[in-house]
Chain A
Amino acid sequence: MARKISILIVDDEDSVRDSLYNWFIEDGFRVECAENAKKALTILESGEFDIILADIKMPGMDGLEMLRRIKSLKKDSIVIVMTAFATVDTAVKALKDGAYDYVTKPFDPDDLTHLIRNATKQISLTDENENLKKKVISLENVEDLIGGSEAMKNVLREVESVAQTNSSVIITGESGTGKELVARAIHSNSSRKYFPFVSVHCGALTESLLESELFGHEKGAFTGAMYNRKGRFEMADSGSIFLDEIATISTKMQVELLRVLESKTFTRVGGNKEISSDFRVICATNKDLKNMVEKGTFREDLYYRLNVVNIQIPPLRDRKEDIPLLVDYFIKKYCTSMNKPAVPIDQSALKRLQEFNFPGNIRELENMIERAIVVGTGKKIGLQDLPLEKTMVNNFAESLDDFERAFILQILNKYNWNISRTAKALKVDRVTLYNKIKKYDLKLAGQ
């Protein structure tokens, strides 16, 4: 169902306001009036209007100044200015300043009807455009999840099954594995896909900032709170909210978050009106939350509230067979954005990439390819274009012993310290592996 269009009428003459109010109310619009520009700006601070119909000549702040202020607050506001015959020049100036149109008073009923009909059409086109953009972005996000490996197929299967539900999801995985992409994929495959996907990086904000960011604030709630502001939970109404780095939030915020998740209601900072919002929570972390619960640094009740479904994204080193696909994808992506023809990658370079461990995961690989396209010759991506040598030396140890120790430990961890499987992977027998473990004093984490 189409939403109700709202109109704000700004004119110092009572008779003009009354006439327009009656006219628009009979057409089924939501209408409010202001007798001067100052009052209009106050009304606009607390609520949004689709169309603002303002007189140019008003005592105090005139319509042109008000137009400039409205445009600085919200660039795409539709402001229609009203003017007398003698001030058409001013109306033209208003158009240059961003007014949608102007009408000369008194106007023909048909002119007013057409003007409002055109503005309404533009509003519905803008709404439709926004929705389509969101839809396109959603589809791209699914395509961004590259990988043919069994590990990645498992992730996609989990995304598919969890998307159709409303359950909270925790996505775990090392930094750079694409946790936000998975969250977007869940959202864009869910019934909430036509509503907002709101992302919050909890680790980047202080406790008070995060509180204001999540719950919003009222004007005057703290120094610098000049306007009312919607919080991310409110923005995510009917959609999904993605809380990245959830492990970094303070104990106080954990309590607040738990309360919001339980009741789906909250109040803005400095406000007393309870706001309800229907959102789905998707969280991500690279920390071991269960371990944090055991240590008492993360609330157990919140952990169980969030951890209804857990999707674990494997690090890139555990799905190296996906590297050629990813390389191909990033080459196409960056060549297109840089307006360059797609360049192939040298087989030896690709082989070296597959041998590399990528502690920074996909993000690191992406940056490498982007750099190679920027600095490369443009014909072929070769070993010389990839910063592998330097990274590998830094990545691993200075001596052969250190290298061997780190490598064996990595394979042991990969196979959960299963000696037989690790030995098989290293192509050594079990006795040799035991000797190496003893030599390098290797221990299972936590022991």
Chain B
Amino acid sequence: MNLQNITLISFGYFGKDILEKAAGAVSQEFNFPVSIKEGHIDLSEFYDSARRQYNGNSLLKQVDSVSLPDSFKTLGIFNVDLFIPILTFIFGQAFLGGKTGIASIYRLDNERYGMVGNSQILLNRFTKEVVHELGHTFGLIHCLNPSCVMRSSTYVEDIDQKTQNLCIRCREEFVSLTGV
């Protein structure tokens, strides 16, 4: 059993391809083995009918309560629209320096914005979002470098601007925090 394992748990249907590619990118970026698991949660408990969205805070806590003995970082992946009480929407969130994060693919698809769907763009955005939230679980904060994956993104266009890699500064910080 490897305790230095990152686990991506999908809640809902995702193409196997997109999860595996994202897992490959995460493994390459953080240098830890990554496994993919399927999770089952009754999402109706987290649905806010007034906002017609799903409560990201509650979902994060729920994923955090899932005990995975072979995993030291866990990221819950959803395909629903997430919100937190204070913001209109979020792409994802994580416990800074904790073990859990969540991310949603819902707002990353071009079709959501009335454009032609593009699976490559969707994969790129999804991978960046997954790496970004996991970066927070390692203790990395938002970075001002426009190409760094830890750059804060409020719209999908912001995600497209950055790469899926840590900048030199964040890489150094990651090494000092993890010793990897």
Do A and B belong to a common assembly? Answer: yes
Bound: A240/B86 CA distance, A: 46
Is A109's CB under 8 angstroms from B88's CB?
Answer: yes
A337, CB-defined interface residue at 8 Å: no
Of B51, B85, B155, most A-chain CB atoms within 10 Å = B85
16 contacts between A and B (CB under 8 A): A16-B85, A16-B86, A18-B57, A19-B86, A22-B95, A23-B86, A23-B87, A25-B96, A26-B94, A26-B96, A105-B86, A106-B87, A106-B88, A109-B88, A109-B89, A110-B155
Docked complex Cα distance between A25 and B95 (Å): 10
Q: Please report A residues at the B interface, Cβ cutoff 8 Å.
A: 13, 15-16, 18-20, 22-23, 25-28, 82, 105-110, 112-113
Given the complex of chains A and B, what is the CA–CA distance between A18 and B83 in angstroms? 13
Is B96 a contact of A15 with CB atoms below 8 Å?
no
Is there contact, CB below 8 Å, between A28 and B88? no
- The answer to whether B141 and A109 touch across the interface, beta carbons within 8 angstroms, is no
A107 to B89, CA, bound (A): 9
Instruction: Please tell me which one of the listed residues A105, A106, A113 contacts residue B152 in the complex, with CB atoms under 8 A apart.
Output: A113
Chain B residues within 8 Å of A, Cβ to Cβ: 51, 57, 83-90, 93-96, 136, 141-142, 152, 154-155
- Least Cβ–Cβ distance between B172 and chain A, in angstroms: 15
Q: How far is the CA of A109 from the CA of B86 in the complex (A)?
A: 9
Given contact pairs A25-B96, A27-B152, A109 touches B142 in the complex (Cβ within 8 A): no
**Identity of the chain A residue whose Cβ is nearest the Cβ of B140 in the assembled complex:** A26
Residues of the A chain whose Cβ atoms lie less than 8 Å from the Cβ of B83: 106
Partner of B85, one of A13, A108, A109: A13
Q: In the assembly, what is the distance between CA of A227 and CA of B158, in Å?
A: 46
Instruction: Point out which of A13, A22, A108 has the most chain B C-beta atoms below 10 A from its C-beta.
Output: A22
A113 with B154: in contact, given A19-B86, A106-B86 (CB under 8 Å)? yes
Of B88, B96, B154, B155, the residue contacting A22 (CB under 8 A) is B96
* Inter-subunit contact B142/A112 (CB<8 Å): no
Q: Are A109 and B154 in contact (CB under 8 A)?
A: yes
Asked whether, in the complex, the Cβ of B85 is within 8 Å of the Cβ of A107, the reply is no
Which single member of B86, B95, B96 contacts A20 (CB below 8 Å)?
Answer: B86
Contact of B57 among A15, A28, A107, A110 (CB under 8 A): A15
CB-defined contacts of A82 to chain B, threshold 8 Å: 86
Contacts of A19 in B (CB 8 A): 57, 84-87
In the complex formed, the residue of B with least CB distance to A17 is B86
A110 to B152, CA, bound (A): 10
Q: Are A107 and B84 in contact (CB under 8 A)?
A: no
**Would you call A27 and B86 a contact (CB within 8 A)?**
no
- CB contacts (< 8 Å) of B88 on chain A: these are 106-109
Q: In the bound complex, do residue B152 and residue A107 qualify as a contact, i.e. CB atoms below 8 Å apart?
A: no
> A-B contact count, CB below 8 Å?
59
Q: Which residue of B lies closest to A112 (CB)?
A: B87
Chain A residues with Cβ below 8 Å from B93 are 22
Question: In the complex, A113→B154 CA distance in Å?
Answer: 9
Q: Is the CB of B86 within 8 A of A107?
A: yes
Let me know if B85 and A27 touch, CB within 8 A. no
User: Is A27 a contact of B142 with CB atoms below 8 Å?
Assistant: yes
State how many angstroms separate the Cβ of A158 from the closest Cβ of chain B: 47
Residues on A with C-beta less than 8 A from B154 are: 108-110, 113
A25 partner residues in chain B, CB cutoff 8 A: 96, 141
CA distance A19 to B95 in the complex (A): 11
Q: How far is the CA of A27 from the CA of B51 in the complex (A)?
A: 26
Nearest A residue to B158, CB-CB: A110
Known: A107-B86, A109-B88, A109-B90. 8 other contacts (CB 8 A): A15-B57, A19-B87, A20-B86, A26-B96, A26-B136, A27-B152, A108-B88, A109-B87
Report A-chain residues with C-beta under 8 Å of the C-beta of B95: 22
Residues on B with beta carbons closer than 8 Å to the beta carbon of A113:
152, 154
Looking across the interface, which residue of chain B has its beta carbon closest to that of A82? B86
User: Contacts A106-B83, A109-B88, A110-B155; is A27 near B141 (CB within 8 Å)?
Assistant: yes
Q: A18 to chain B: which residues have CB within 8 Å?
A: 57
A109, chain B: closest CB distance, angstroms: 4
Q: How far, in Å, is B57 (CB) from chain A's closest CB?
A: 6
Please measure, in the bound complex, the distance between the C-alpha atom of A217 and the C-alpha atom of B155, giving whole angstroms: 49
A26 CA to B60 CA, complexed, in Å: 15
Residue of A nearest to B96 (CB): A25
Asked if A28 and B141 make an inter-chain contact with CB atoms under 8 angstroms apart, the answer reads yes
Which residue from chain B places its CB closest to the CB of A27 in the assembled complex? Answer: B142
Give, as a whole number of angstroms, the nearest-CB distance from A364 to chain B: 58
Is B87 a contact partner of A108 (Cβ separation < 8 A)? Answer: yes
> For the complex, what is the distance from the CA of A27 to the CA of B152, rounded to whole Å?
8
Q: How far is the CA of A224 from the CA of B10 in the complex (A)?
A: 61
Q: Which residue of B lies closest to A9 (CB)?
A: B86
CA distance A250 to B73 in the complex (A): 63
Distance in Å from the Cβ of B130 to the closest Cβ of chain A? 16
**CA A218 to CA B136, docked complex, whole Å:** 38
Nearest-CB residue, chain B, relative to A29: B141
Q: Please indicate the chain B residues that have their CB under 8 angstroms from the CB of A27 in the complex.
A: 141-142, 152
CA distance A204 to B62 in the complex (A): 64
What is the chain B residue whose CB lies nearest that of A108? Answer: B88
Cβ distance B88 to chain A, nearest Cβ, rounded Å: 5
9 shortest interchain CB distances as A-B pairs: A19-B84, A28-B141, A109-B154, A110-B154, A15-B85, A19-B86, A27-B142, A108-B88, A16-B86
Q: Which residues of A contact B141 (CB under 8 A)?
A: 25-28
Chain B positions within 8 Å of A13 at CB level: 85
The answer for the CA separation of A22 and B90 in the assembled complex, in Å, is 12
Please name all residues of chain A whose beta carbon is closer than 8 Å to the beta carbon of B51 when the two chains form the complex.
106
CB contacts (< 8 Å) of B152 on chain A: these are 26-27, 113
CB-CB under 8 A from B96, the residues of chain A are 22, 25-26
